[in-house]
Chains A and B, each alone.
Chain A
Amino acid sequence: MTTLYLYAVFNGVVLGMAIFLVAAGLTLAFGIMKIFNFAHGAFFMIGAYIAHAVTGQEASSLPLFLGAALVAALAVGGIGILTDLAIFRRLGNVPHEYTLMAAFGIMLFCTGAARIAFGQSVHAIYPPEAIGGFSNVGFLVSHYGLFIIASGVVVFLVLEIGLNRIWFGKMIFAVARDPWMADVIGLRVQRLKLASVAISFALAGLAGGILVANQSLSLDLGHSYLLLAFCAVIVGGLGSIKGAFIASLIFGLAESLNSVVLPTMPGIGSYALLIVLVLIRPQGIYPELSQ
């Protein structure tokens, strides 16, 4: 019984880190642009397809797998720059709800384009052999799961240190807090916004490349993570990386323990938890960037 729970906890942490990989870019985009980027899930999916195109069904080595994730991050980051130049930048004077519709439009556009480009079929992807195995520590620990946890922690540390301790992060914070004032003191607001949008999209591509082997690859891939990532961003406090990290862990564990504690009612835990958490603390765990 204990091992069952330990196994569920391990899986919960893996899922939590997977959610965080998606939520990190989402919360960054919200902090800087103040819009909910519904297209994030679609770009995550495109990243996964790009990684799949680079490696094929099973990457021959770990460096190739990581390289493919990097290629996906760069490619999706590039798409992000184009999207910002063509669309997001022009939304400055448009009411809030309309920016939401633009994001929705981009999502539909990307899903449709991916359907035309990649076809409807579902692919089964395997992790490379170096991280494809299992270890037995009372229960089976998949090495790929450990790899996802490590990736999540690395991304978290890089973002947290990068945003809070380094000049570049402080400039982004300044732009997020008050674009007008940042402009007055001589920051290049448009360029910084472009950079952070590119980073946010690149994170989506990276997440796609890393998580591509976590489940079968299909066009619905975006939806499955997007909703949970949204939950994490809301509960974490809009725009907060730290909050998103903690909330992702909470939702990952809730989703995983749900299947052990209430096996007859799959999928109910995270939504019930979301409702309770938002009712208790509507402003989120760390309401820093949102104001």
Chain B
Amino acid sequence: MNRIAQIALLLLLAAFLFAPFLVNPGLVFIAGFALIQIVFALSWNLLFSYAGLISFGHAAFFGVGAYISAVVLRDGHGIHFVLVILICAVAGAVAALLVALVVLRRASGVQFAVLTLALSQLIVVLIGYSSLLGHDEGIAAIPRPVMEFGLFTLDLNRPLTNYYFVLAICLLAVGLMWLLVKGHMGRAMQAVRIDAERAAFIGIDVWRVRVVAFTISGAFAAVAGALLAPWGQIVTPDYVNWLQSAQPLFAALLGGAGFFWGPVVGVLGLSGINYLTRTFAGLSEVLVGASLILVVLLAPQGVLGAVRQFARRRGGGNPGGRP
């Protein structure tokens, strides 16, 4: 079963690698968006599945990255775009750290979710005031950057280069999160999620683990946002509001919370439904809604959970997927 999971993962990677040669440009565009959403959803899942925190305002950190990179690209400061992404990551981390220091001390559970929601909505309102950030209309027609690497130049105005750049950064981000989750920090986070009191007894600083998890998660969300500006070329407050914050929740639960790769499956499923129903107004919402309800009723472990259960029943072998 583990082997099947590995093969599925490799097939998925190959599909993303060869996408520009296999499908039309419209689908490649959607694939790029899906990659960005995957990083965003995984960053949220770090909190949810590993640290046990439900954030309802995660789009705020996505927005921090998206707006910083959009403003820098629009104003043409000539800053190297890789540096811009790093700046976004740091800014996202600092914003998340500040939020964590204030919110985590006072609230948990539902109150935590509501406070993060309120903070992100506050940011949406503030963006509406700012002419630097383009009020409610957002920033449109963002120019794509050209990067000098000494030996070679990456011109993101070329569609192929642009796609592979996004793919490379997303793979890097996913890889870093995978290492984090499998390492010492990930174990500590899981211990805190499963039983905070026991974790404290065996010497884990619960409060610090939660703050660090929130900070790291904010940084990755900001990186995902930073990629949106050159890929979609438009950044609007819609990317910061609560419906965007709910996307990772859908993706994680649909694919299977508790699995590292759950949100990936979820994002692909949601993108697929959106793509197939794009011409019918209303139908896509009905289908996404119905599939969420069906997943909750029929497979409360998500798609990957259902697959694992099926595999166990058939072979009785090792549990597949990776928790």
Contact surface of A with B, Cβ cutoff 8 Å: 36, 87, 90-91, 94-95, 97-102, 104-116, 120, 227, 230-231, 234, 238, 264-268, 271-272, 274-275, 278-279, 282
Judging by beta carbons under 8 Å apart, are A116 and B107 in contact? no
* SS of B interface (majority): helix
Judging by beta carbons under 8 Å apart, are A112 and B285 in contact? yes
Report 5 cross-chain contacts, Cβ distance below 8 Å, ordered by A residue. A36-B110, A102-B297, A120-B281, A271-B118, A278-B114
Nearest A residue (CB) for B123: A271
Judging by beta carbons under 8 Å apart, are A116 and B292 in contact? no
* Chain B residues closer than 8 Å to A107, beta-carbon distance: 289
Judging by beta carbons under 8 Å apart, are A227 and B121 in contact? yes
Q: Which one of B54, B122, B126 lies within 8 Å of A275 (CB-CB)?
A: B122
Judging by beta carbons under 8 Å apart, are A267 and B125 in contact? yes
Judging by beta carbons under 8 Å apart, are A275 and B115 in contact? yes
Nearest A residue (CB) for B284: A112
Q: Which one of B106, B246, B253, B281 lies within 8 Å of A98 (CB-CB)?
A: B253
B129: interface (CB < 8 Å): yes
- Chain B nearest CB from A190 CB (Å) reads 17
* Chain A residues closer than 8 Å to B292, beta-carbon distance: 101-102, 104-105, 108
Judging by beta carbons under 8 Å apart, are B118 and A278 in contact? yes
CA distance A100 to B254 in the complex (A): 12
Contact surface of B with A, Cβ cutoff 8 Å: 48, 54, 102-103, 106-107, 110-111, 114-115, 117-119, 121-122, 125-126, 128-129, 242, 246, 249-250, 253-254, 257, 281-293, 295-297, 300
* SS of A interface (majority): helix
CA distance A275 to B120 in the complex (A): 11
Q: Which one of A94, A105, A279 lies within 8 Å of B300 (CB-CB)?
A: A94
- Chain B nearest CB from A79 CB (Å) reads 14
CA distance A143 to B286 in the complex (A): 39
Nearest A residue (CB) for B103: A279
* Chain B residues closer than 8 Å to A274, beta-carbon distance: 114, 118
Q: Which one of A105, A111, A267 lies within 8 Å of B293 (CB-CB)?
A: A105
Q: Which 3 A-B pairs have the closest CB atoms?
A: A112-B285, A109-B289, A105-B292
* Chain B residues closer than 8 Å to A104, beta-carbon distance: 246, 249-250, 289, 292
- Chain B nearest CB from A108 CB (Å) reads 3
CA distance A36 to B48 in the complex (A): 18
CA distance A238 to B290 in the complex (A): 28
CA distance A227 to B285 in the complex (A): 20
Judging by beta carbons under 8 Å apart, are B282 and A268 in contact? no
Judging by beta carbons under 8 Å apart, are A106 and B115 in contact? no
Judging by beta carbons under 8 Å apart, are A110 and B125 in contact? no
* Chain A residues closer than 8 Å to B110, beta-carbon distance: 36, 234, 238
Judging by beta carbons under 8 Å apart, are B122 and A102 in contact? no
Question: With A102-B296, A231-B118, A274-B114 in contact, do A108 and B128 touch (Cβ < 8 Å)?
Answer: no
* Chain A residues closer than 8 Å to B250, beta-carbon distance: 101, 104
